[in-house]
Amino acid sequence: MEPIAISINDTAKALGVGRSSVYALIKSGGLQAIKIGRRTLLTTESIRRLAQWSRPSMWCKIGCVSTAEQKSAIRRRKTRPSCYMPGGVA
């Protein structure tokens, strides 16, 4: 039987992103979270829906910073913003 929900760490591994990016996606509504006591779990349905998006660069548009803000942050800090996704617009 497949799990209905998985942890933040397992979600980050499955999507190939960091935990802070997962939290940003939760905050923006890109991922559906379930709180059980102190534990936060994410529905596998919402993870699958996010992973099926054709353009990972859209992930930042739903929860982190806009493309222009990303480019500006990269120029200023010479690093990638915390919401950078592989294949994204950075």
Residue 40 has a pLDDT of 95
Q: 41 by DSSP, 3-state: which?
A: strand
**Number of residues that make up the chain:** 90
Q: What is the chain's pLDDT, residue by residue, as a tens digit (90 residues)? A: 889 999 999 999 988 889 998 999 898 888 999 999 999 999 999 998 888 774 555 555 555 545 565 556 556 655 554 555 554 443
pLDDT at 17: 87
Burial of residue 7 (CB within 10 Å: 0-12, 13-18, 19+) is middle
**pLDDT given for residue 60 in this prediction:** 56
First to last CA, the chain: 39
Q: What is the pLDDT of residue 1?
A: 87
